[in-house]
């Protein structure tokens, strides 16, 4: 099961890079163009929520900590987890962060784009999963 991990500072300009990496992994795994658009939107939303997370901002404004995105493609499935981390890279320790509880519209958007979507057990995290569509899976067999 190939895994790609991207860890970045919680800055808005890094969300685009995260989307590009996710789409590249999905394309390599055999996902079709229609699914790539859905993956791009959902990943962008998950990473934007992590960047905007209040737990990552100091009172004076600058962002601290990291955003950790893990992508695992296993045969006909892509699993993506986006988690808010402390500056040393450890998931935030205290209960579900603002990522999980705030903005139900954003969670609904991600759930609509992914085959399955759920807050992760890690603080401030979101897990998204997609299955390769049947026609793409058949094309990979040849």
Give yes or no for a contact between 67 and 83, defined as CB atoms under 8 angstroms apart: yes
- Give the residue numbers spanning the domain of 76: 3-141
Give yes or no for a contact between 126 and 46, defined as CB atoms under 8 angstroms apart: yes
Q: Give the residue from 43, 2, 42, 1 showing the smallest Cα distance to 21.
A: 43
- Report the number of distinct structural domains present in the chain: 1
Q: What is the CA radius of gyration of the chain?
A: 15
Give yes or no for a contact between 116 and 128, defined as CB atoms under 8 angstroms apart: yes
Reduce the DSSP state of residue 84 to 3 states and report it: strand
Kindly report the three-state secondary structure assignment for every residue of 51-69.
HHCHHHECCCCCECCEEEE
Q: Rounded to two decimals, what is the model's pTM?
A: 0.76
Question: Which segments of the chain have a pLDDT < 70?
Answer: 1, 53-63, 93-104, 107, 117-124, 133-142
What are the pLDDT digits (tens) for 40-74? Answer: 998 998 888 888 864 445 555 556 789 999 999 88
What CATH number is given to the structural domain containing 52? 3.30.565.10
Determine the pLDDT at residue 48: 87
Which letter does DSSP use for residue 62 in this model? -
């Amino acid at each position: 099961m190939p895994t790609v991990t991207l860890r970045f500072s919680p800055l808005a300009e890094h969300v685009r890079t995260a989307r590009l990496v996710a789409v590249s992994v999905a394309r390599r795994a055999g996902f079709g163009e229609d699914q790539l658009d859905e993956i791009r939107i959902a990943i962008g939303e998950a990473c934007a929520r992590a960047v905007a997370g209040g737990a990552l901002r100091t009172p004076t404004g600058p962002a601290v900590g990291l955003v950790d995105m893990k992508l695992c493609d296993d045969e006909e499935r892509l699993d993506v987890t986006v988690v808010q981390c402390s500056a040393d890279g450890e998931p935030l320790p205290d209960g579900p962060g603002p990522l999980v509880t705030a903005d139900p519209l954003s969670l609904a958007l991600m759930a609509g784009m992914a085959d399955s979507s759920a807050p992760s057990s890690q603080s401030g995290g979101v897990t998204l999963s997609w299955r390769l569509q049947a026609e793409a899976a058949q094309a990979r067999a040849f």
